[in-house]
Structure 1
Amino acid sequence: MSISYLNGEYQPLAEARISPLDRGFLFGDGIYEVIPYYGGKSVGLMPHINRMINGLAAIEIKNSHTAEEWKTLLDDLVERNADMGENLGVYVHISRGTDVKRYHPYPENVEPTIFCFCFGIKDPEPLDRSAVTQYSLVSTEDLRWQRCHIKSTALLGNVMHFQEGYSTGADEALLYNANNELTEGSSCNVFVVKDGKISTPIQDNQILPGITRRIILDSLKSDGNLDVEERIITMDEVRNADELWITSSSKEIAPVTKLDGQPVGNGEVGEIWEQAFKVYTASKFDF
């Protein structure tokens, strides 16, 4: 049975309880992270923790843990759940805490609710592009809030966009802004390949600062064999791309072969994906 962490105590996940007056429940007032561990080794743990600490500061939730203390807590939780399997995801959820009433302003003198648990994740995809899982997307205008750089637990906008894709049989929804510029997916970042060059949208308030996105950019730039850049990308470019990828902690780098019912490029997983995924796989535990 999964062992969870809740406000300083380890307990079976099925026994974890919070108050219905918790602001995470009432307002979605909190920050979260999902961190993958493969064979007990984390991917991007400190970048995840630092993003979480920055998010807590951005919405003024008290953080009483140092980055190293967070690392120790999460590593310990993974060890306690070793019987769940070799590959685990860790979900971390920090809300502002529980007040005595429902009231919009930030309350004073409340302690944050800290909740963490583990769940099984699939094995990494094979490096062979003939055997990797392929994804299908639909595109839609991005109607979420304008602070997407904060990894808020208030995910209704993302859920509704994801449902748009899911209800049509697609695996994800690809989002664009009012200027017809690519932002991200409902639960992932996006990369576009054209004529051998890899591009991804500029990091701003329209997209989440994805940890996998950052690892990909840093590892490819360090490797030096593939051309990669951050820039504004129009949806016309997306529709004419040779390759399209979605990236996240759970998907790593996932090749997209269909968008809005039409093939991406030649409709097959591309050679650049295979090269990039090999570079990423070789370096992902270094972050």
Structure 2
Amino acid sequence: MTRTAYVNGQYLPLEQAAVSVMDRGFLFADGIYEVSAVLGGRLVDNAGHLARLARSLAEIGISNPHPIEEWVRIETELVSRNGLDEGLVYMQVTRGAAERDFSFPKDAVPTVVAFTQAKTIRANPLAETGAKVVTVPDIRWQRRDIKSVALLAQVLAKQAAAEAGAAEAFMVEDGAITEGSSSTAFIVTREGTIVTRPLSNALLPGITRRAVIALAAEFGLTLEERLFSVEELHGAAEAFYTSASAFVMPVVSVDGETLGEGRPGPVARRLRELYFTFAEARD
């Protein structure tokens, strides 16, 4: 079946979907993006993703081209047209097309693109074996709380992970883990406390992160929001990362060294189960 994409109000076959070479997203990475998961044909925790989309747009001065209800309609239509049962909906908004100049163009209309990607989420074999991660320097800009399309540092981090035979890279600044290249990083201490870095401009406010923190509180798991070091990561009983595409992913190796018992730990496995229950119960 031919995939359908959404471009500026039109649903088009993917091979016909295109934007101007003068689009500022292409020329300057002047735009933001958002990703929502789809499970059983239904959007997962979508309100949070659309709220973050609106926040990111406001932070860089782009008017939100659609009210929330219209975004939901676009997403739902793409899921339907593409027959997507499990995977992702990707949305991107740029400042639009204009003559190349660094300052904001006065009359540009935002460019809106969206498409779906099929992806195995529930039966992801990586969740059974556990993921390997590597640590890399965090070389990004200072507003990581904005979900910018400027992802070169993350691309390089993810490539470093791939070359090391790992699934994810945890980024390091001043000796502490900031976040994964496309995820939020967590550890579980030897005492059983879940630890993740507190929100700030240094990291993205993960929507799955937020849900996992709420689930931990609901089910009586101890969680602290604080910085944790590379050394703490290596010495942790468990580690895992969260994202819209991975949900909750256990970590079994860091920088080539076995973590904990070398298999998905009980806390990560429990939170993954709880998150699936949460995801299946909500739009």
Give TM-score, length-normalised by structure 1: 0.93
1:19 maps to 20
Matched residue of 2:128: which SS? coil
2:177 maps to 182
Matched, 1:244 2:239: yes
Identity among equivalent pairs (%): 37
Shift of 1:92: 0.4
1:29 maps to 30
Matched letter for residue 49 of structure 2: H
Structure 2: gaps of 5 or more residues = none
Equivalents in 2 of 1:269, 1:123: separation in Å?
A: 16
Matched letter for residue 261 of structure 2: N
Equivalents in 2 of 1:133, 1:205: separation in Å?
A: 33
Q: Does 65-74 or 187-196 show the bigger shift?
A: 65-74
Deviations 1:139-179 (A, max 9, x none): 1221111111100001011111111111222211111112x
Equivalents in 1 of 2:77, 2:136: separation in Å?
A: 41
Q: How does 1:1-287 map to 2 (within 5 A)?
A: 1-82=2-83, 85-99=84-98, 101-125=99-123, 132-178=128-174, 180-194=175-189, 195-223=191-219, 225-284=220-279, 285-286=281-282
Equivalents in 2 of 1:98, 1:200: separation in Å?
A: 39
Matched letter for residue 254 of structure 2: L
Shift of 1:39: 1.2
Structure 1: gaps of 5 or more residues = none
Equivalents in 2 of 1:140, 1:157: separation in Å?
A: 10
Q: Does 203-212 or 117-126 show the bigger shift?
A: 117-126
Asked whether the equivalents of residues 24 and 30 of structure 2 are also in contact (C-alpha less than 8 Å), the reply is yes
> Which segments of structure 1 move beyond 2 Å, counting only runs of 4 or more?
284-287
Asked whether the equivalents of residues 129 and 263 of structure 2 are also in contact (C-alpha less than 8 Å), the reply is no
Equivalents in 1 of 2:100, 2:200: separation in Å?
A: 32
Matched residue of 1:283: which SS? helix
Asked whether the equivalents of residues 121 and 245 of structure 2 are also in contact (C-alpha less than 8 Å), the reply is no
Q: In 2 relative to 1, CA 90–63 (structure 1 residues): closer, same or farther, beyond 3 Å?
A: same
* Matched positions, count: 280
Shift of 1:256: 0.7
Equivalents in 2 of 1:244, 1:167: separation in Å?
A: 21
